[in-house]
Amino acid sequence: MGSAITPGHSRVVMKNPIVEMDGDEMTRVIWAMVKEQLLEPFIELALEPYDLHLPERDRTDDVVTTQAAEAIQRHRVGVKCATITPDAARVKEYNLKKAWPSPNGTIRAILDGTVFRKPIVIRTVPPMVRSWKKPIVIGRHAYGDVYRDVEMKIPGPGRVAMTYWPSDGGTGDTVLVHEFRGAGVVKGEHNTEKSIRSFARACIEYALSERLPEMWFAAKDTISKTYHAAFKDIFAEEVQARRADLDRSGVAYQYLLIDDAVARVMRHPGGFLWACRNYDGDLMSDMLASGFGSLGLMTSVLVSPDGNFEFEAAHGTVQRHYYQHLKGEPTSTNSTATIFAWTGALAKRGELDGTQDLVAFAHRLERAVIETIEEGIMTKDLAAIAEPRPAGHVTTEGFIMAIAERLHANVGAGAET
């Protein structure tokens, strides 16, 4: 059942393929259901599949992850299921050759991308902040600063300095960090012009692609007059270089002091991109995810500076639910963000290929998901916070089946008019 084609409807045909990356645990279970119930009946899927299931990464010595990233560079659009990043416990559980690195880290390193997190806003799942009406998207720089710092404990009195030695043997520079009179701590951070520039370009690319009316970049250049100021200046240069495109798409750019941005975001209706430095983005994306309701509503897209797109849900493999599922117990895992990863990829594929019916289908599927939830059919995570509270919640399968029914009905109705 489920994969029966609605009578009288031809399936949407894809021109170019999407790179499909399957994954692990509960999200792998959901992945198969979404394809069978919500995609295959409506689209003749053209996919280039890579299985990033942990045993498969182990079997291929993780080569499959690199191949998937390279495929995205060829086809420009990918969709990824959540995957396990193995730790010591997983090495044992899956009897792995080693603790393979995070697939997202590997893919990001190859695509040189920036990750954008965008919440799905649903009328009956009100954000915790009253003024938020539209998504607030966070673009987080994913290189350097405190994540690549060096740190030192200072045991007692003495001087700490920072020195630059030019590779060409030229005159360098030394600055005194601090003259310690007692014990203390010190750290050195860095970033590169290349990385900051590609971050700025990815943010501009994203704002244009989503036609967002506003893009912010925030830092603290009043205090950090060289380090933060470098970010501010590079952003300004990159914005200037794309000024005509930004004007044409109606994207307004502004630089804000980070404290001003934090204050403003609380009374802003949303619908904008907030480009954040690495640490700010780490914090603000978690703040927004919980402020907008549930991890099951948070989508994520990796955008490379040259315009390749990889879509996924922001959450992980939902391991706790998977173990319930393995025991044969019912689960209530929210597939919304996974479905929106697919619709994001399909819409982008359609946009790049000029296939309007693919874009239209993606939007129709998104509407079917939102209408299903607004009608009161939802998983446990949303049932706990929705207004009005629904009488109960549905299972993982029940939710996807309810969306499928609505989609079949909507597609049928659409064809008659």
282 binds, options ligand NAP, Mg ion, none, Cβ within 5 to 8 A by partner type:
Mg ion
Pick from 136, 203, 318, 373: which binds ligand NAP (CB under 6 A)? 318
Which CB, 127 or 350, lies closer to ligand NAP?
127
- End-to-end C-alpha distance for the chain, whole angstroms: 27
Stretch that binds ligand NAP, among 109-117, 120-128, 311-319, 403-411 (CB under 6 A): 311-319
Residue 28 or 228 with smaller CB distance to ligand NAP? 28
Q: Which of 319, 324, 395, 410 binds ligand NAP (CB under 6 A)?
A: 319
Q: Does 198 bind ligand NAP (CB under 6 A)?
A: no
**What is the spatial distance between Cα 67 and Cα 216, in angstroms, rounded to a whole number?**
34
Task: Determine the 3-state secondary structure of 251 from DSSP.
Answer: coil
In 77-193 the beta strands, taken as DSSP E runs, fall at 77-80, 114-119, 136-140, 150-154, 158-164, 173-180, 184-188
Q: Is 381 in the site for ligand NAP (CB under 6 A)?
A: yes
Residue 83 interacts with ligand NAP (CB under 6 A): yes or no: yes
Name the residue nearer to ligand NAP (CB basis): 43 or 365: 365
Nearest to 260 by CA among 318, 312, 220: 220
The rounded distance, in Å, linking the Cα atoms of 7 and 15 is 23
CA distances to 161, 239, 273, 277, 314 from 138, in Å: 35, 18, 6, 10, 12
Q: How far is the CB of 334 from ligand NAP (least distance, A)?
A: 3
Residue 104 interacting entry, from ligand NAP, Mg ion, none, C-beta within 5 to 8 Å by type: ligand NAP
Alpha carbon distance 350, 346 (integer Å): 6
CB of 75 to ligand NAP, least distance (A): 20
The single residue among 60, 66, 85, 410 that binds ligand NAP, judged by CB under 6 A, is 85
Beta strands in 52-182 (DSSP E): 77-80, 114-119, 136-140, 150-154, 158-164, 173-180
- The secondary structure of residue 213, as a DSSP letter, is S
Q: Which does 320 bind (CB under 5 to 8 A by kind): ligand NAP, Mg ion, none?
A: ligand NAP
Torsion (CA) 375, 379, 385, 390 in degrees, nearest 10: 40
Which residue(s) pair with 183 in the sheet? none
- Nearest residue to 318 (alpha-carbon basis) of 100, 11, 84, 26: 26
Closer Cβ to Mg ion, 111 or 142, answer by number: 142
| Two structure tokens written together for 151 | 């740190």
**Closest to 344 measured CA to CA, from 80, 135, 26:** 80
Can you read off the two tokens belonging to residue 363?
């939007």
Contacts (Cβ under 8 Å, ≥6 apart) of 248: none
Choice from 106, 195, 285, 333 touching ligand NAP (CB under 6 A): 333
Nearer to ligand NAP, 73 or 319 (CB): 319
Q: How far is the CB of 381 from ligand NAP (least distance, A)?
A: 4
One of 299, 334, 343, 372 touching ligand NAP (CB under 6 A):
334
Select 20 or 282, whichever has its Cβ closest to Mg ion.
282
> Which residues, numbered 63-82, are part of the site for ligand NAP (CB under 6 A)?
82
For ligand NAP (CB under 6 A), the number of binding residues is: 17
Q: Tokens 């915790």 — which residue?
A: 128
- Residues of this chain that interact with Mg ion (CB under 5 A) are 282, 286
Minimum CB distance to ligand NAP, residue 281 (Å)? 15
Query: Under the rule (CB under 6 A), what is the footprint of ligand NAP?
Result: 82-85, 104, 295-296, 312, 315-320, 333-334, 381
